[in-house]
Amino acid sequence: MDLITSCEEMQKRAREWRRLSQCVGFVPTMGALHDGHRSLIRLARNRADIVVVSVFVNPTQFGPSEDLAAYPRDLEGDMRLCRAEKTDVLFHPTVAEMFAPDASTWVLEDRLSRGLCGASRPTHFRGVCTVVARLLNLVLPDFAVFGEKDAQQLRIIRRMVRDLAFPVEIVAAPTIREFDGLAMSSRNRYLSPEERRQAACLRRALDEAEQIYLSGERRASVLKETIRQVIRTAPLARVDYVEIVEDQSLEPVEFCEGPVLVALAVFIGKARLIDNTRLPPVSPP
Amino acid sequence: MDLITSCEEMQKRAREWRRLSQCVGFVPTMGALHDGHRSLIRLARNRADIVVVSVFVNPTQFGPSEDLAAYPRDLEGDMRLCRAEKTDVLFHPTVAEMFAPDASTWVLEDRLSRGLCGASRPTHFRGVCTVVARLLNLVLPDFAVFGEKDAQQLRIIRRMVRDLAFPVEIVAAPTIREFDGLAMSSRNRYLSPEERRQAACLRRALDEAEQIYLSGERRASVLKETIRQVIRTAPLARVDYVEIVEDQSLEPVEFCEGPVLVALAVFIGKARLIDNTRLPPVSPP
């Protein structure tokens, strides 16, 4: 495995692969890799000749009061995991490599980014889109893998790629969970043992909502209240949002008919955790 | 020469050229091609295996009160000129091909875009950057040619390409002028014979400013007033702006020392015309 830290070198290698018609799979990450990332890398490994994993804690996607400084960094561990999964290149640029002091270009998705996490984190997706656009141009992959845990991010990246015609396929990878259903996330490292125990409420709440949906309940208000009730059973948890939205447009729905996305964000201790589930469309009677 | 109207087909061809290691030169235009465009195409022809010219009147770079509907369109003439210059592909997508009804992604350069034309046309460069980003991803060129007449646009595109790491070289082509110095522009077609005669004042004004600069004047205020005086000699002309800015940052200067850009926009009849000149740095005594 090669470690590349220079953007110029990364793009040079990428152009060579293009010339040689190699199929390149790309997994962009912020590092602190866990089994969720591992599954993304395996998915890429299964399809690509060359697998590139990037590790870059992107400052532009953190708000001023967020956890940029505290965000876990573990390059040694990340290299071990990538090597074990037969990654070809680990791309690990510095912030200075990625953003010139006078950088002044943003990629902005302004519809899907408004609600859900975008409402609580108003500059977050602008930072995500900008860095992903730059990474796609540096790595020139045939496909890039994004996790379904970040459901809104996945849809925004797909929209950006469609609108700007990036020549890349976006592949979605299913959420990987701990034994008790907690979605894997680098931010789970922030949790104390008791917080970690209570964090299982996110998935329990989504499961409960899914159960009553499957038994016939269609009112979004009732499903959302069910979720809030389950979260309230965890005294250390505080809801940021609970939303039910149309699966592609991310517009809030009152009744769950087409495929919908149930998404939530919950603060537990220092961590802000997100999770989601997709409810299948109602089949006609 | 092939005429391509589908974005999918354009990108498919572009990917084939990549595989064959062909050098692709790209000239993006809004059509109504003239000898200025011709010089850009020749420049591309001299360096590339494949030359692609796009003709697309981009609605997103026109303000609500601007000349989108009136903008000259002449596909027959454009095809003749492109054929004469040995263009390989004329890419002429419809608006619906370029922008999905729910398109929601913008590329925004927010520093160089503020002054000059950006001050009079607040959404113009957002439209330019977005469409150029999409065109670069559809044509996948090795280099793209932009005219120096649109000096601010050239610098913004260079900035966008640098910030987002598009794997393309931006090549600048010198301004081509009519016999009396008027910079060639599709918008010159709007001018009546008398307006056309008076339009020569733009270049005369820039020449005059350059002369007094070369004879030692360094005060931007004096150079700008000289320009306004020359423009005033044309009764049909009305200044939109006259600015002197640092050549790369486009920040206004008080004294002309490093390389500076003298830029102006002038309304004459229905046309808004722009022109500029770059003053060389002062050599130390």
ipTM reported for the complex, 2 dp: 0.96
Residue B280 is predicted with a pLDDT of: 87
Nearest CA in chain A to B164: A134
Nearest CA in chain A to B168: A137
Q: What is the pLDDT of residues B247-261, one digit of tens each?
A: 999 999 999 988 999
Q: Which amino acid is at B107?
A: V
Exposed e or buried b for every residue in B158-171, given b needs 16+ CB within 10 A?
A: bbbbebbbbbbebb
Residue A191 is predicted with a pLDDT of: 97
Residue B186 is predicted with a pLDDT of: 94
CB B166 within 8 A of CB B28: no
**Closest in A137, A140, A159 to B104, CB measured:** A159
CB A86 within 8 A of CB A133: no
Separation between Cα atoms, residue B57 and residue B32, nearest integer Å: 10
What is chain B's Cα-based Rg? Answer: 19
Q: What is the pLDDT of residues B107-142, one digit of tens each?
A: 999 999 999 999 999 999 999 999 999 999 999 999
The Cα of A202 is separated from the nearest Cα of chain B by a number of Å equal to 31
* Residue intervals in chain B for CATH 3.40.50.620: 2-173
Cβ contacts of B7 on chain A, cutoff 8 Å: 165
| N-term to C-term CA, chain A | 55
Q: What is the CATH number of domain B186-276?
A: 3.30.1300.10
Q: What is the pLDDT of residues B139-172, one digit of tens each?
A: 999 999 999 999 999 999 999 999 999 999 999 9
Separation between Cα atoms, residue B281 and residue B261, nearest integer Å: 11
Class of domain A2-173: alpha beta
In chain A, which among 118-157 make CB contacts under 8 A with chain B? 129-130, 133-134, 137-138, 140
Return the beta strands (E) in B56-191 as ranges.
89-91, 105-109, 143-147, 169-173
Return the C-alpha torsion angle A86, A89, A95, A100, nearest 10: -160
pLDDT value at B40 more than 60: yes
Cβ contacts of B112 on chain A, cutoff 8 Å: 104
- Cβ of residue A167 closer than 8 Å to a chain B Cβ: yes
Neighbours of B124 (CB within 10 A): 20
| CATH number belonging to the domain at A186-278, selected among 3.30.470.20, 3.40.50.1100, 3.40.50.300, 3.30.1300.10 | 3.30.1300.10
Which candidate, B78, B80, B83, B85, places its Cα nearest to that of B57? B78
Residue B285 is predicted with a pLDDT of: 54
Is residue B37 part of the annotated active site? The answer reads: yes
Q: What is the pLDDT of residues A136-149, one digit of tens each?
A: 999 999 999 999 99
The Cα of B233 is separated from the nearest Cα of chain A by a number of Å equal to 39
Separation between Cα atoms, residue A150 and residue A275, nearest integer Å: 8
Cβ contacts of A162 on chain B, cutoff 8 Å: 100
Phi and psi, residue B17, nearest 5°: -60, -40
* Interchain CB distance below 8 Å, A164 and B21: no
For A124: left if phi > 0, alpha if psi spans -120 to 50, otherwise beta; the answer is alpha
Neighbours of A139 (CB within 10 A): 27
Residues of chain A with pLDDT under 50: none
* Residue intervals in chain A for CATH 3.30.1300.10: 186-278
Size of interface A-B (CB pairs under 8 A): 91
* Residue intervals in chain B for CATH 3.30.1300.10: 186-276
Separation between Cα atoms, residue B39 and residue B119, nearest integer Å: 29
* Interchain CB distance below 8 Å, A137 and B102: no
pLDDT category of residue B282 using cuts at 50, 70 and 90: confident
Cβ contacts of B249 on chain A, cutoff 8 Å: 102
Residue B36 is predicted with a pLDDT of: 97
Residues with Cβ within 8 Å of residue A188, at least 6 apart in sequence: A34, A178, A182, A196, A199, A271, A273
DSSP string across A198-242: HTTHHHHHHHHHHHHHHTT--BHHHHHHHHHHHHHTSTTEEEEEE
Q: What is the pLDDT of residues B80-98, one digit of tens each?
A: 999 999 999 999 999 999 9
